[in-house]
Amino acid sequence: MNNVGQEVLYNKINQRMETTKKIGVWMDHSVAHLMKLTNETIVASTIKLESSLPAKEQNLGIHERLFHDKEQRQLSAYFKRVSDVLKDYNEVILFGPTDARTELLNLLKADHHFNNVKIGVRAADKMTENQQHAFVKEYFKGTK
C-alpha cells in the first residue's frame, strides 16, 4: 500500500474512533444514571421513573389489576425515555442490581434503531457515583 493509501486508511480508522459514542447506564426499576464517556471524562445525567400513584393507592389491595397496568405503563415510559437517549450512541453498557438492565436490553433488541449498537450487560451492586464512573471507564477501556 502506498503512503496515500495508508494515510486514507489511518484517517478512516481515526475518524471512526473519534466518532464512537459511548455511554454507561447504571439502572434499577426506579432510576437510571447515564454516564456519557468522552475522552476519559464522564458527563452524567439521571432519568427517574415517574410515578403518579399516591402512596395510599399503592397500598390498597383494591383494583390490584388496574394498579399493575398503570405501573407497567409507567415502567414502559421510563424504559422509553432511557432508550431514546441511547439511540445516539454506538456502544452501551447496562449495569445494575436488578433485572431492569435485562428488561431494557430485550426492548432494545426488538428496536431496529439498535441493530448496529454494541450493547453489553453486567450485574452490579449498588454503587456510589464515583464507583459507577470508574466502572464505565474501565469497561470501555477494554473496548477500544
pLDDT at residue 41, as a whole number: 92
The CATH architecture that domain 21-141 belongs to is 2-Layer Sandwich (3.30)
pLDDT score recorded for residue 54: 56
Lookup: cell for 73: 405503563
- In which residue are the cell numbers 475518524 written? 15
Q: Alpha-carbon distance 2 to 57, whole Å? A: 72
Give residue limits of the domains in the chain. 21-141
Residues of the chain with pLDDT under 50: 2-18, 57
pLDDT of the residue at 40: 84
Half-sphere exposure of 36 (CA within 13 A, CB side): 14
Q: Specify the pLDDT at position 14.
A: 45
Global pTM reads 0.78
